[in-house]
Structure 1
Amino acid sequence: MELLQRNDYLQKLKDTIGTPDIKVITGIRRAGKSKLLVLFEDYLRTQNNTNIIHIDFNLTDFENLAEYHALELYIKERKSDNKQNFVLIDEIQMCSGFEKAVNSLHASDLYQIYITGSNAFLLSSDLATLFTGRTFEIHVFPFSLSEYMQFFKMKDSYSELDSYIKEGGMPGSYLYKSIEDKYRYISKDVFNALVVRYILGKRKIKNTVLLDRLVDFLMDNISNITSIRNIASCLETTKMTANSKTIGSYIDYLCASFAFYKIRRYDIRGKRYLSSEDKYYLADHSFKYARLGTKNMDWGRMLENIVAIELMRRGYELYVGKLYQKEIDFVAIKQNEKLYIQVSDYIGDGQTFEREINPLLAIKDAYPKILLSRTRQSEYLYEGIRVIDISTWLTSINNSQEQL
């Protein structure tokens, strides 16, 4: 499979060279973390005065290093005194006691350390506990629309958006010809393996049927306001008994594995966060189609999911906006920048346009407001609100506010 130069992520890795942190590449299974490490190694080989020690625990060549003393000794024996030493370790969780070796190597201040691993062992919440030194996390998402088009050498984002919605951003699926085989790979090799190996394995879950039903419910309700209490009530109608605490724990596990992302609600007028009701988005929208089928495509909610992941990919912190009885799909914040964004599949008739634009018009502050839809035309302004074709926005090269 041809490697796509994922330049944004690669640049993030380049920018960390020389920093004292342990660099940890995280993200959902099969999103391209290992390939990114290979691209980084290729870059390092073009630089002067570098010594690269690359260990890939996917290969049996390194199975003798599956204990932390052996791993540390292997690395120390290959250190160069006259060069900058880069340690790249893929699937590090396959080494027993790996954190002891990494902490020891980091404490010596002689290595630049970059690692990837299973979500079960490298959760964002666990990094500070695992590693006594500082960590820097590079979070990798599945392919964006831009990367999808680049991989397939496509030019027209208007026409290719539909195929991206159906096929998604999991690069391993692109090797399969039929959509049925693509979905089989996504469902079996990616999502089911993620749930079975991570959640069922690490968390020792016994009620597998409940987890299965919960996954289906969340997938069927992506971008809908959801509360744990409502989920419990809906599951009870299918004669599935579960308390809110258990459901809450299972959802936390799903989010910790990067299968779903939880977005909290924010009261724009009261400037406070709202509890109990949230939205959930899939790491890749193809998971829903692969698992539940394509009978109900629900383009609008799929586009909202794609925009949510794209905003996170671009480094924004996301909230769902609430203003009186109106809802704004996203309040996107990055440093001192704030954006209000509404997403719609279609705004071709007056009634739909009014429904989508009115929540943005009701916001009285001066922060930029954007309506994204499949307009298939150039951007225009409506009472100060930017109306942008969604495929144009998704493939915008410049992620600055001007382009957003």
Structure 2
Amino acid sequence: MIDTHNLKKRDLYLNKMIAFQDSEPVKVVTGMRRSGKSSLLKLMANHLKESGIADEQILEMNFESYAFKNMNSDSLYDYVKQHVVSGKRMYLFFDEVQRVLNWEDAINAFRVDFNCDLYVTGSNAYMLSSEYATYLSGRYVEIKMLPLSFSEFLYFHDFEIKGTKSALGGTHKQVFDKNGEHYDIREVFDAYMRFGGMPGIADVGLNQEKALVLLDGIYSTVVMRDILERENRRGQKRITDPILLKKIVMFLADNIGSNISVSSIGNTLVNEGLLEDGKHKGTPSAHTVQAYVNALLESYFFYEIKRFDIKGKEFLRTLGKYYIVDIGLRNYLLGFRNRDSGHVLENIVYFELLRRGYDVSIGKVDNTEVDFIATKADDKIYIQVSESMMSEDVRKRELAPLQRINDNYEKIVLSMNTGMDSSYEGIKSLDLIDWLLSEAVEETL
């Protein structure tokens, strides 16, 4: 049960929802389990009550609840019909609606039959895939929810940033907790890289044992409910082997930010001794591996990013990359140790770009690579992510791909240690933490 009195605000998402209040589209909140979708619906319901909507006009149903366990579209329709207040506009909130068989029939009927404003959440991308989307085509707006950004992490954990003057006359960011203890901003960012951004961590505190229990519960729920228990969908291969699924999860988690082809995953697992290669087991087919990867993408556990040939102006079909939705989950899977921090920073930047409303791809320039091309409407940014820009060799490596791009869009290198220079031939060098905390998050969908 969510405590509505102590709900932390998620203004980035709530403001999007409020912007579409009382408009025709169904507001569909998507994202991984436990990323805050249920709380967002509660925040929206609270907003309605604060703006004068009566309780009787608000109907909230969570289909994870046993009370609604066996509902189908018919019984859902009947239930809502009984609760509609005649002559009043209704506000209908349906949490985890994909658990209702043929849910889209009922949602469509509510739109037609009742004076209502509709809000739904779902933990699986399949709910908006082609066959369902045709029902709601052009009649829904998707709000994509992610775990906490670094600035949200600070807010959820009751940290406050204050600028203090340094001996050299500049300002130095320090973070204060609710007891007045202060920390260097880098220390708190290290905690974010360690524990991740699942909102539930704020309830248990930055305690490794408690965090592991919480993350284990999230992982188990995603894998069991959204992947292994999903119904046999038309044209989709069922996910029946929990051992193979776990090994693919571990492989992808260990290789975030690396160029991967699905056809090579099975072979790599065999070569590394993670799968038996024999007459009885055999190497899983590329088709099987693809089905398991698709299931992980559908449940928002991993996100795939495609490569774009900047000079040829086309997407490439080969060697995409995968990023994990939350770094805390990666640490839970692989162990809490410093590993591969360059790719972890990339992972954090990738999801921050998604939060800010950008479409993101990897850039290929001749035989070099740009970490991210972030596009939105007429805006485009090329971004490299590096741990440090102190070494001349690293500077050359990070700057070279950006220097080969001939257009006039912004080019940025984000790093934890920028060195002395703030730009190189027009390429900006920015502190990664400062960038994460910048107020550049625009209220766009």
TM-score by length of 2: 0.83
Match of 1:236 in 2: 270
When structure 1 is superposed on structure 2, of 30-39 and 124-133 the one drifting more is 124-133
Q: How far apart, CA to CA, are the structure 2 residues paired with 1:386 and 1:232?
A: 40
**Does structure 2 conserve the Cα–Cα contact (< 8 Å) formed by 1:25 and 1:140?**
yes
SS in 1 for 2:50: coil
Q: How far apart, CA to CA, are the structure 2 residues paired with 1:179 and 1:101?
A: 43
For residue 210 of structure 2, the aligned residue among 181, 199, 203 is 181
CA distance 1:265–1:97, change in 2 (3 Å): closer
CA distance 1:266–1:64, change in 2 (3 Å): closer
Q: How far apart, CA to CA, are the structure 1 residues paired with 2:313 and 2:229?
A: 41
Q: How far apart, CA to CA, are the structure 2 residues paired with 1:49 and 1:250?
A: 45
Match of 2:220 in 1: 192
Q: CA deviation at 1:301?
A: 0.6
When structure 1 is superposed on structure 2, of 230-239 and 138-147 the one drifting more is 230-239
**Does structure 2 conserve the Cα–Cα contact (< 8 Å) formed by 1:264 and 1:279?**
yes
For residue 199 of structure 2, the aligned residue among 171, 174, 187 is 171
Q: CA deviation at 1:355?
A: 1.4
Match of 1:147 in 2: 152
Q: CA deviation at 1:82?
A: 4.3
Please tell me whether residue 18 in structure 1 is matched to residue 22 in structure 2: yes
Identity among equivalent positions (%) equals 35
Question: Which residues of 2 match residues 2-401 of structure 1 at below 5 A?
Answer: 2-48=6-52, 51-60=57-66, 62-63=67-68, 66-108=71-113, 110-119=115-124, 122-125=127-130, 127-129=132-134, 131=136, 134-154=139-159, 155=161, 156=175, 157-177=185-205, 178-186=207-215, 188-202=216-230, 204-237=238-271, 238=273, 239-240=276-277, 241-375=283-417, 380-399=422-441
Q: How far apart, CA to CA, are the structure 2 residues paired with 1:345 and 1:247?
A: 33
CA distance 1:99–1:4, change in 2 (3 Å): same
CA distance 1:85–1:377, change in 2 (3 Å): farther
**Does structure 2 conserve the Cα–Cα contact (< 8 Å) formed by 1:31 and 1:171?**
yes
Give aligned pairs, total. Answer: 398
Q: How far apart, CA to CA, are the structure 2 residues paired with 1:123 and 1:258?
A: 13
Query: Counterpart amino acid of 1:189?
Result: G
Aligned structure 1 segments of 4 or more residues deviating by more than 3 angstroms: 57-60, 62-65, 67-70, 80-83, 93-97, 123-127, 129-133, 156-159, 376-379
When structure 1 is superposed on structure 2, of 317-326 and 205-214 the one drifting more is 205-214
**Does structure 2 conserve the Cα–Cα contact (< 8 Å) formed by 1:378 and 1:389?**
no
Q: How far apart, CA to CA, are the structure 2 residues paired with 1:199 and 1:273?
A: 29
Q: CA deviation at 1:291?
A: 0.7
Give structure 2 stretches of 5+ with no counterpart. Answer: 162-174, 176-184, 233-237, 278-282
Q: CA deviation at 1:126?
A: 5.3
Q: CA deviation at 1:378?
A: 9.4
SS in 1 for 2:23: coil
TM-score by length of 1: 0.91
RMSD: 2.3
Q: CA deviation at 1:376?
A: 6.9
Q: CA deviation at 1:78?
A: 3.2
Q: CA deviation at 1:227?
A: 0.9
Q: How far apart, CA to CA, are the structure 2 residues paired with 1:64 and 1:194?
A: 18
Q: How far apart, CA to CA, are the structure 1 residues paired with 2:149 and 2:130?
A: 25
Query: Counterpart amino acid of 1:209?
Result: I
**Does structure 1 conserve the Cα–Cα contact (< 8 Å) formed by 2:22 and 2:117?**
yes
Q: CA deviation at 1:64?
A: 8.2
Q: How far apart, CA to CA, are the structure 2 residues paired with 1:72 and 1:259?
A: 32
Give structure 1 stretches of 5+ with no counterpart. Answer: none
